Amino acid sequence: MGEIAYTNGITNGVGNDKSHSPPNGYRKSCWYEEEIEENLRWCFALNSILHTGASQYQDIALLDTKPFGKALVLDGKLQSAETDEFIYHECLVHPALLHHPLPKNVFIMGGGEGSTARELLRHKTIDKVVMCDIDEEVVEFCKSYLVVNKEAFHDSRLEVVINDARAELEGKEEKYDVIIGDLADPIEGGPCYKLYTKDFYELSLKPKLKKGGIFVTQAGPAGIFSHTEVFSCIYNTLRQVFKYVVPYSAHIPSYADIWGWVMASDSPLDLSAEELDMRMKLRINEENRYLDGKTFLSSSTLSKAVRNSLNNETHVYTEGAARFIYGHGKNA
């Protein structure tokens, strides 16, 4: 999926074709190209390729991009970029923690780059964060190369566990105030799609939430056309398991799309913008760059077309009836 291409400034295909010298006025550049769907590709210029590698589970790359700074790429899918990852991580973390009356311990499924832990550890009420990622090489890679999260990785409140999230949740007695799904997208052959299923949510995850606990997960593309890939069925699946379910979305420039999250609980999730702002002021160290109360209420007010689609969604995510975003994992 993700490819590095050398072009002469004209869209002329992938590869370094030395048989044609670039015309005057054009500069040969190195580009990262990601195939978003069959007839659509997204690419941007690179300053350099900082590191590439592979683990048992996925291919790994760290690119220095011209428009978005350092970018982490797993299995050919951009995971986060330096200039706008704060939008994704603030949206993933803060709504759930702010809706909880007093969050003290949190379990992260995935989150190996450390940015989710970083945002969690800004909350003054937090005593413990367990970050459980299956891929030790990704975690070590991010510790070494993502300087922005260095402080989080060294925070005494963070416990890093290398394990499958299902096995870790089922194997321990501990329960949590908040569980966060910061998993890679469900792609065919990827390591994570089984952690988006109804059985997992119902039998493994929900029993590990304390009374009043909240679950939130990233839920893939949520654009006017792309939301039917996985966003709508993840929402519908969580509606089968939890009493209150809130979908919301935001534009992530480096993803070239609107992105979605779904928050779920058996307790109401209905704070006003003013209440959210007050809790942010009291609980969070330093101000958010993106999210405040009005922004969250705006993010959870989806367009008419997407609302109708989610309300009419009937598909329930199971291992036998999984949906995937476009692309494929290392083991496909």
Q: Specify the amino acid at residue 262.
A: V
Among 143, 126, 252, 254, which residue's Cα sits nearest to residue 180?
126
CB 209 within 8 A of CB 250: no
Query: Which DSSP string do the residues of 250-290 spell out, in sequence order?
Result: EEEGGGTEEEEEEEEESS-----HHHHHHHHHHHBSS--SS
Among 282, 306, 242, which residue's Cα sits nearest to residue 103?
282
CB 87 within 8 A of CB 250: yes
User: Burial level of 304, CB count in 10 A (0-12/13-18/19+)?
Assistant: exposed
Is 182 labeled as catalytic in the residue annotation?
yes
CB 185 within 8 A of CB 325: yes
Of the candidates 75, 182, 185, 257, the residue annotated as catalytic is 182
CB 138 within 8 A of CB 112: yes
Between β-strands 128-133 and 105-110, what pairing exists: parallel, antiparallel or unpaired?
A: parallel
Residue written as tokens 């966003």?
231
- Kindly report the length of the chain: 332
What residues are labeled active site? 182
